Amino acid sequence: YLSPNGTRAYVFGDRVTTEEVTEAKMVLCSFGMKGKSQSMVDEIQMGLTQLYAGMLSSIRSNFSKAQGRFNVKVFEEFQRYSGLPDADKVFKVAITGGRKLGDVNVVITNQPSELLSSDKFGVFENTTSFAIGGVADEKMRAELCSRLSVENMKTELDRIALSMQKKTVNLDKSGSSDGGSQGGSHYRRSFLVRLDRRDTTITKVRLPEHIAMSPLFRTGPEVKEESK
């Protein structure tokens, strides 16, 4: 790490000043985990990465408050980050202490079950706003509604989940099926949203086709047909 010719000298290869961190419009902390498992990353390098992430998070929060600005932190792919060593320590400081500094923390995950099992990250107790999309597991939907105190919206969350299927069904007020084949399609790609622990509704955004079909939203490789 510290030798100029060391195998991991690149970790300290580019000096970053405090001014660059505080004045940047966006700071991206990448853990370089794309296509990797935790076991493939050196323990020392992972520790340094977490240390830097915590320092950058603290610097951004404090300087933003001093400048009279809000600071938005986005924890994307949280289901992967949460499995890294000491992730809970870095995250808890950001989500609890950061609120007093004017931070807006956005947590994005496609595995809410990990948050439900043991809320060691304190997500639910610190959540003021949320958006839930199509959750396939019925028990998970019920538990999410219970933990977030929106039991009255359980049927709506069921409708969103059923709309993901090729053939959806209508639900009456009790949540039972009426056997319809196409009912509830307007719930497709909708979200159950609550803002500031008060207003709860179902919402969706209709994107123009040229945006919705752009490479920005494509996952996986682009399969090309072989010429005959």
Q: Which two tokens stand for residue 54?
A: 């915590």
Using 50, 70 and 90 to split pLDDT, how confident is the model at 177? very low
Residue 192 and residue 157 in contact, taking contact as beta carbons nearer than 8 Å: yes
pLDDT of residue 167: 52
pLDDT mean across residues, the chain: 82
Residue 83 and residue 50 in contact, taking contact as beta carbons nearer than 8 Å: no
User: 197-227: per-residue pLDDT in tens?
Assistant: 889 999 988 888 888 788 877 777 777 777 6
pLDDT of residue 166: 57
Alpha-helix runs per DSSP H in the chain: 18-23, 43-66, 78-81, 87-92, 98-100, 112-117, 138-147, 154-162, 209-212
User: 54-80: per-residue pLDDT in tens?
Assistant: 899 999 999 999 989 899 999 988 888
Q: Is the pLDDT of residue 48 over 50?
A: yes
Tokens 């808890």 sit at which residue?
92
pLDDT of residue 173: 46
pLDDT of residue 98: 82
